[in-house]
Amino acid sequence: MGMFSPRLPPLLLLFSFFTLLVEVFTASEFKICAYNVERFDSAKASDSRVLHTVKRIVSRCDICLLQNVMDSGAISTLLASLNRDTDRYDEYTYRSVSSKSLGKSAVDMQHYVFIYRVENVNVTGQHQYQKKNSFVREPFSVQFQSHKTAIKTFILVPLHSDPNQAVQEIDRLYDVFEEVSEKWNNTNVMFLGDFHASCAYVTRGDKKHIRLFNSSRFYWLIKDKVDTTVSSDTNCAFDRIVVHGLPFLKSIRPFSANVFNYVKAFKLPRSKAQEVSNNLPVEVRLRSSALLLQATPLLFLIGVSAIVQSFLSAP
């Protein structure tokens, strides 16, 4: 018996077809996330409640940028938990690629860490920006390649800005863009992270001094009026996602750039959520591969044809 049998009742056939279509689109989603975990160290990772929350956030994403990581031991603990055979998330295998320890103060050296699903994406290059006196934590750019996405190769550039230098550091991302796009001959660049790009740190007047705001080639996917904080006392769009160029913008699933409010999603008391971080993750979905996009109209036509056949065959 075929997938679409005329013996099935028309409503059941219609339901089955659209269920299949939803499953195809769900399976094809590719999500990129960024999360400031606030001083994520081995001691914090040893707290089972905190680790469980971070694990649930990371495991929603094909690539997840973690910022404010204080030591490599915390990442080892997180990866061991994600990859544990008895508790593996969605049967994926997770790996990480990390910057060196970055910062100006011995008590506040941090890593940028990308955790990614090896089944869906692989690392094809990494680059540490090294121009002195430009950032407190210089961006650590990584080029990724995926067979799951319509845009096959793209560069992710993280920034956890120093709040007191946010305007200058966000502006200097333009220089980072020029360096990495030339290095890899690839202008499909996404900036993401806790920019402190809001409230007192970056005002409306400050934007005229930031090239990423003034250039029409850069698209800010997380808007100014979004709240990316856990605290009820703040309403600030600190965490952002910015992409360069129309080709990359067109590869983004429309309206998919959002803040993930894990406080509501996981039904956590606000006080418990703040033990993890006062920042909320931001995320965006990339369109699926060209092969799947080409197959979708065919699936639709097959479904419509089968439904029409079902009605015509009904006694």
Residue ranges covered by each domain of the chain: 1-29+301-315, 34-287
Residue 54 tokens read as 């971070």
- What's the confidence (pLDDT) of residue 250? 97
User: What pLDDT, on the 0 to 100 scale, is given for residue 14?
Assistant: 46
**173 contact partners, CB below 8 Å, separation of at least 6:** 139, 157, 159, 191, 212, 242
Whether 310 shows a pLDDT value over 70: the answer reads: no
Residue that wins the pLDDT comparison between 306 and 138 = 138
pLDDT bin (cut points 50, 70, 90) of residue 305 is low
Angle between helices 72-82 and 48-58 in degrees, nearest 10 = 70
In angstroms, the CA 220 to CA 234 distance is 21
Q: Does 296 have pLDDT greater than 80?
A: no
Q: Are 289 and 147 in contact (CB under 8 A)?
A: yes
- Could you give the CA distance from residue 282 to residue 231 in angstroms, rounded to a whole number? 16
Tell me: pLDDT of 89 over 80.
no
Structure tokens at 279: 């920042």
User: Cα dist. 142→79, 129, 283 in Å?
Assistant: 19, 11, 17
Q: Which of 223, 217, 253 is nearest to 238 (CA)?
A: 223
**Mean pLDDT value across residues 249-261:** 97
Backbone angles phi, psi at 16, to 5 degrees: -65, -40
pLDDT at position 6: 44
Mean pLDDT of 281-307: 64
3-state secondary structure of 141: strand
Q: Quick one: pLDDT at residue 85?
A: 77
pLDDT for 5 equals: 42
**pLDDT of residue 19 exceeding 50:** no
Per the CB < 8 A criterion, the answer to whether 281 and 260 are in contact is yes
Mean pLDDT over residues 62-70, rounded? 98
pLDDT for residue 187 is more than 80: yes
Task: For residues 2-28, give the mean pLDDT.
Answer: 45
Residue 2 reports pLDDT greater than 80: no
User: What mean pLDDT do residues 233-257 have?
Assistant: 97
34-287 CATH choice from 3.40.50.300, 2.60.40.10, 3.60.10.10, 3.30.200.20: 3.60.10.10
Q: What is the pLDDT of residues 129-151, one digit of tens each?
A: 999 999 999 999 999 999 999 99
pTM: 0.85
The mean predicted confidence, pLDDT, of the chain is 88
Query: CB–CB of 112/99 below 8 Å?
Result: yes
Q: What is the pLDDT of residue 16?
A: 43
